[in-house]
Amino acid sequence: MKKVDVIIIGAGASGLMCAIEAGKRGRSVLVLEGANKPGKKILMSGGGRCNFTNYSVDSENFISSNPHFCKSALSRYTQWDFLGLIDQYQIPFHERSHGQLFCNDSARDILNMLLAECEKVNVSIQLKSEITTVSKDSESGFTVKTAEQTISCQSLVVASGGLSIPKMGATAFGYQLAEQFGINVVKVYPALVPFTLQPDDKEKLSTLSGISVSCVVSNKRQSFKENVLFTHRGLSGPAILQISSYWKAGEEIIIDFLPDIDLYTEFKQKRAGHVKVLVKTLLSDWLPKRLVDQLIDQSLATSSILDISNQQIEQIIQAIKSWRIKPNATEGYRTAEVTLGGVDCSQISSKTMQSNSVPGLFFIGEVLDVTGWLGGYNFQWAWSSGWCAGQYA
Ligand SMILES: Cc1cc2nc3c(=O)[nH]c(=O)nc-3n(C[C@H](O)[C@H](O)[C@H](O)COP(=O)(O)OP(=O)(O)OC[C@H]3O[C@@H](n4cnc5c(N)ncnc54)[C@H](O)[C@@H]3O)c2cc1C
């Protein structure tokens, strides 16, 4: 039977980072990947340009049942460490809003860098290798079977990711393995995902398809200031993806379409100056006409701002700055960027990523119950957790 020091399940972001680090320590490392290519999600990320980290990373940017868990790994392998690697490979990148860092050319630069690092330390990557069974040996170590071979290892690292985008090779394998070893899995949900609408709303809002507006979107727990995009299926755009990670079925979300405008003062000043303008003309200075038509009742929209009551102004402000909508559902794992929930961090060491109850078994990346916001945080978590496990696996 073939023997290696470390088997890593999954050649994604976290698995490759862990492989590099374990390889640097002189460990023999085999990465088993079910798909026909490594790093498929890296390649499709950030619209092909991979938002690989963020200038500002804090535990506040992550969701977990155990919010302190991610702190240790994020502080031991930071965004600056990853930028150091990027610098070595002279990968050109740029900053977008909110400190998000993207490749100038292609996400392939990131994948090529990781693969080159793997090669330097003799990491083997075996593709199209679906694992059929994993068992713990009586002394120390594990036996892993694929359709073709049986391999034993001292350390087994589960880097199999979450459930999003099943056609890219996402499987529930990591969760099943955790359960096999008695490790709890926190209930999983699709996150960073567009919303679908109730049939009535969908029909009513169909005219808005393609409109994108900078908004503040909030619910009881969080709020995000970014763009909202109306689509033919429902609501999308960064602000919606962000709030989806905090959304519970049946809840309303609230959208402020003019977060930077004090509408009350605008109305007051214009009325005091006797500026004769229609409500919809005034609002169209800041918002697309189609959106104004949808948000404001037609008779009110076509009234002069001088002819409406204070109560009607309140009504307009309410409609624009506190628009409430109850999504029907999310689009699910088919389009979700990540999976919320996962392997329960309370049973994993935050320093080593090793299971507290099963020595030699490690979990890293998205399979854990750590979910980043949109903005490069999920990759930073993959790099940080993968790096930590690589020091001990
Ligand atoms: C469309 C899209 C865009 C994204 N854009 C960004 C972005 O710009 N920035 C950001 O930070 N995050 C982004 N994300 C999220 C990010 O891609 C993931 O959080 C990250 O890839 C997780 O890394 P991972 O190593 O845990 O898992 P993955 O990268 O998903 O890797 C897991 C690997 O395990 C393999 N695998 C699964 N089951 C098995 C099995 N049984 N046997 C063998 N192999 C198996 C899979 O094929 C896969 O290669 C995006 C996600 C999507 C879907």
pLDDT digits (tens, 9 = 90+) for 148-161: 999 999 999 999 99
**Among all chains, which residue has been given the structure tokens 């918002």?**
287
Could you report the per-residue pLDDT of 265-292, keeping only the tens digit for each? 999 999 999 989 999 999 999 999 999 9
pLDDT band at 138, cuts 50/70/90? confident
pLDDT band at 314, cuts 50/70/90? very high
Q: Give, as one character, the DSSP assignment of residue 194.
A: P
Could you tell me the CA-to-CA distances from 37 to 31, 43, 120 in Å, in that order? 12, 10, 19
Nearest CA to ligand 1 atom 49: 12
pLDDT at 1: 86
Return the best residue to mutate from 37, 41, 366 for the ligand 1 pocket (most ligand atoms within 8 A of CB).
Answer: 41
Is residue 139 over pLDDT 80? Answer: no
Q: Write out residues with Cβ below 6 Å of ligand 1.
A: 9-15, 32-35, 40-41, 44-46, 50-51, 130-131, 159-161, 164-165, 169, 171, 173, 337-338, 365-367, 376-379, 382
Alpha carbon of residue 14 to chain centroid: 14
* Interval between CA 162 and ligand 1 midpoint (Å): 7
Nearest CA to ligand 1 atom 51: 337
pLDDT at 230: 98
Is residue 112 over pLDDT 90? Answer: yes
Could you report the per-residue pLDDT of 181-206, keeping only the tens digit for each? 999 999 999 999 999 999 999 999 99
Ligand 1 atom nearest the C-alpha of 382 is 23
Compute the average pLDDT of residues 324-330.
98
Could you report the per-residue pLDDT of 62-80, keeping only the tens digit for each? 999 999 999 999 999 999 9
Residue ranges of alpha helices (H) inside 37-95 are 40-44, 69-76, 79-88
pLDDT band at 32, cuts 50/70/90? very high
**How far, in Å, CA of 202 to CA of 214, rounded?**
21
* Interval between CA 358 and ligand 1 midpoint (Å): 25
pLDDT band at 244, cuts 50/70/90? very high
Question: What backbone torsions phi and psi does residue 94 show, to the nearest 5 degrees?
Answer: -140, 160
The angle, 0 to 180 degrees and rounded to 10, between the axes of the packed helices 108-120 and 13-24 is 30
* Interval between CA 111 and ligand 1 midpoint (Å): 12
pLDDT at 149: 94
Is residue 229 over pLDDT 80? Answer: yes
**Among all chains, which residue has been given the structure tokens 């977990």?**
64
Could you tell me the CA-to-CA distances from 38 to 5, 111, 158, 177, 347 in Å, in that order? 21, 8, 15, 21, 29
**How far, in Å, CA of 343 to CA of 338, rounded?**
14
Nearest CA to ligand 1 atom 22: 366
Ligand 1 atom nearest the C-alpha of 14 is 25
Is residue 24 over pLDDT 90? Answer: yes
Ligand 1 atom nearest the C-alpha of 366 is 26
**How far, in Å, CA of 53 to CA of 378, rounded?**
8
- Average pLDDT over the chain, rounded to an integer: 97
**How far, in Å, CA of 40 to CA of 13, rounded?**
9
pLDDT band at 140, cuts 50/70/90? confident
Is residue 167 over pLDDT 90? Answer: no
Half-sphere exposure of 181 (CA within 13 A, CB side): 28
Which region, left, alpha or beta, applies to residue 50 given φ > 0 means left and ψ of -120 to 50 means alpha? left
Compute the average pLDDT of residues 97-118.
98
* Interval between CA 142 and ligand 1 midpoint (Å): 24
Contact between residue 111 and residue 43 where contact means Cβ atoms under 8 Å apart: yes
Collapsing DSSP states into helix, strand and coil, what is residue 247? coil
Return the best residue to mutate from 82, 192, 378 for the ligand 1 pocket (most ligand atoms within 8 A of CB).
Answer: 378
Two tokens at 9?
């399940």
Compute the average pLDDT of residues 39-54.
97
Is residue 344 over pLDDT 80? Answer: yes
Question: What backbone torsions phi and psi does residue 235 show, to the nearest 5 degrees?
Answer: -120, 135
* Interval between CA 234 and ligand 1 midpoint (Å): 25
Nearest CA to ligand 1 atom 53: 337
**How far, in Å, CA of 336 to CA of 189, rounded?**
9
- Residue among 325, 316, 323, 309 at smallest CA distance from 263: 316
